[in-house]
Amino acid sequence: MSEHIPKTVQEYIDETPNWSDGTMVADAPMTAMQWRIWMLATAGKFFEGLVVFMTGVALPLIVMEFHLSESEKGMVGAATLFGILVGATALGGLADHVGRKQMFVFEMALFVAFLVLVTFSANFTLLIVGLFGLGLALGCDYPTAHLVISESIPSRSRGQLVLGAFGFQAVGALVGTVMGFIILKAEASIMDWRLMYAMAILPATLVVIGRFFIPQSAHWLMAKGRTADAEVEIAKLLHRKPQHPKHIELTHPGEAGMLAVADRRPGYVKLFSKKHRRATILAAVPWFLQDLATYGIGIFTPTILTATIGGQSHVSPTSLTQVIYGDMIAAKGAALLDVLLIVGIIGAIILADRAGRIRLQIFGFLGCAVGLFLAAMSAYFDGSMKLVLIFAGFMIFNLMTNLGPNAMTYLIAGEVFPTHIRGMGAGFAASFAKIGAVITAFFFPILLKGIGTATLLYLLVVASLIGALVTWRFGIETKGVNLEKLDADVPV
C-alpha cells in the first residue's frame, strides 16, 4: 500500500530500501540511467578544460601563423571565455523555458559545429568567431549540465557527483596540455594547433548522440505543471531490475511549492528581489573573483613559465623550431601543474558534504592567495630559488582553487535557487563570473608585458582575499539540502 502514497520527485529519487528487520539503508542506489546522465554531463566540463587550457599550448603557433599583436593575442585567449559569458546568460536560462534535455543536446551540437570552424579557420576573424562559438556552447553547459545532474540524483550524493563531473574540467585541462605536447613532438609543424582542436570532434559528436537518449527532468516538468509527463520521465530515470517503484504518483512539495509552479514569470529581476538577492551575490561575486585568477593562470601558465624561466626570452619568434621547442618545455611544466587541479578536485569531492561548501570556499580562497603570493615573490630571486617559488606557488594555487572556489562556486550556483529560476540563476552567476575570465584573458598578456609578472600576481592575491570575505559575509550552506526545500521556501 505504501507504494501508492503520492511522493514528490525528490522523495522518489531519495527513497532508500530497508533491511528485512526495517533498518534503513544509508543511501539510495543509483540506476543505470542516472549514471549515464552523469557521464554525459561530465563531457561538457571535460571539453571546456580541453579547449580553454589547450589554447595556452596552441597560442604560440596561432600567433606565428596569423602574425598577431599583443591585443590580438589577448583576443584569442578571451574569445572562448567571452562566448561562455554570453552563452551562460543567453542560452543557459533557456533550460528553464524549453527544457533541460533540449538544451543539453543543443549545446553539444553547437560545440561540434564551432569546433569544426576553428579547426579549418582560414583567417584570424574566422578563428575568433569559432572560439567565441565554442564558448557560447560551453556557457550554456555551465547551468544546464549542473541542473541535469542535480535534478536526477539523490540529495546525499549531489555534492559529490556534481563536483565529480566538474572535476573533468581538470582532467580535460591535463589531457589538452599533454595532447598538445605529444602533437608538437610528433609533427613539429605550424599547423599543429589545428590538429589539437580536431582531435576533439569525434568524441564530442558521440556525446551529442548519447544525450538524445536520456529522460527529461521530472523536476522541470513538475515546475511546468506537467505532472503526467513527469511521472513517465521519472519512471525512465528510476528503471531497475526488478523494478522499483512499480507505481509512481507524483505530488508537489507542499502548498508553497504549488505557488512556485504558478509563479513562472520570466526575468532576471527576480534574482535581485529581497528573497533571492543574497543567493545571487553568493553565486556570482566569488565566482567572478576566482575566475580572474583561474583562467588567467590557466591559459597563460606556459607564457608565464617561459617568461619567468627565460625559455623563450632570447628566441626569435620567426623560428618555428625554436618556438615549438619553447612551447614543448612550457607544456611540460603546465601539465605538471595541471595534475594538482585533479588532486584539488578529489579533495573537494571528499570534503564538500563533510566540511561544507562555504567553509571550503573560504579556505580555498585563502590558499589561492598564499600560492599567488609565493609565485609573485619569485620575481625577487634568481636561479633555482626562482624556479622553486614559481612552481610551488602555482602548485598551491592549482590545488587550492579546485579544492575551494573553482569547484565550490560551480556547485553553489546550481543549489541556492529554486527550480523555476535555477537555470536562470546559475546561468547569470556563470555569465557574471566569465566577465572576470574575459577581462583577465584579454588583458593578461598586455599587463604581463606592461607591469610585470609580480605586480599582476599581487593583484590576483587581493582578488582572492576579497573572494574569501564575500563568501563569509553572504554564505548560504547547501550541503545535503533537498532541492525541493528551496521551492517550498518561495515566499507567499
Is 66 inside a domain boundary?
yes
pLDDT of res. 4: 66
Q: Domain count for the chain, please give it.
A: 1
- Are 128 and 76 contacting, i.e. CB atoms less than 8 angstroms apart? yes
pLDDT of res. 316: 45
Is 19 inside a domain boundary?
no
Is 20 inside a domain boundary?
no
Is 7 inside a domain boundary?
yes
φ/ψ of 250, rounded to 5, equals: -90, 150
Is 23 inside a domain boundary?
no
Is 44 inside a domain boundary?
yes
- Domain, as residue range, for 230: 3-14+31-265+272-488
Q: How far apart are CA 394 and CA 400, in angstroms?
A: 10
Residues 97-119: pLDDT tens digits?
A: 888 999 999 999 999 999 999 99
Q: How far apart are CA 363 and CA 351, in angstroms?
A: 12
pLDDT of res. 49: 84
pLDDT of res. 369: 95
pLDDT of res. 273: 83
pLDDT of res. 338: 65
Residues 343-377: pLDDT tens digits?
A: 888 898 889 888 889 999 999 999 999 999 998 89
Domain of 401: which CATH number? 1.20.1250.20
Residues 392-401: pLDDT tens digits?
A: 888 898 889 9
Residue (of 108, 100, 101, 99) closest to 45 by Cα position: 108
Query: What nine digits make up the cell of 422?
Result: 535555477
SS in 3 state form for the chain?
CHHHCCECHHHHHHCCCECCCCCECCCCCCCHHHHHHHHHHHHHHHHHHHHHHHHHHHHHHHHHHHCCCHHHHHHHHHHHHHHHHHHHHHCHHHHHCCCHHHHHHHHHHHHHHHHHHHHCCCCHHHHHHHHHHHHHHHHHHHHHHHHHHHCCCCHHHHHHHHHHHHCHHHHHHHHHHHHHHHHHHHHCCCCHHHHHHHCCHHHHHHHHHHHCCCCCCHHHHHHCCCHHHHHHHHHHHCCCCCCCCCCCCECCCHHHHHHHHHCCCCCHHHHHCCCCHHHHHHHHHHHHHHHHHHHHHHHHHHHHHHHHHCCCCCCCCCCHHHHHHHHHHHHHHHHHHHHHHHHHHHHHHHHCCCCCHHHHHHHHHHHHHHHHHHHHHHHHCCHHHHHHHHHHHHHHHHHHHHHCHHHHHHHHHCCCCCHHHHHHHHHHHHHHHHHHHHHHHHHHHHHHHHCCHHHHHHHHHHHHHHHHHHHHHHCCCCCCCCHHHHHHCCCC
94 Cβ neighbours under 8 A, 6+ residues apart: 103, 140, 423
Residues of the chain with confidence (pLDDT) below 50: 1-3, 255-265, 311-318, 490-492
pLDDT of res. 438: 76
pLDDT of res. 488: 58
Is 25 inside a domain boundary?
no
- Could you tell me which residues are beta bridge partners of residue 18? 24
Residues 147-172: pLDDT tens digits?
A: 899 899 888 888 889 888 888 887 88
Is 211 inside a domain boundary?
yes
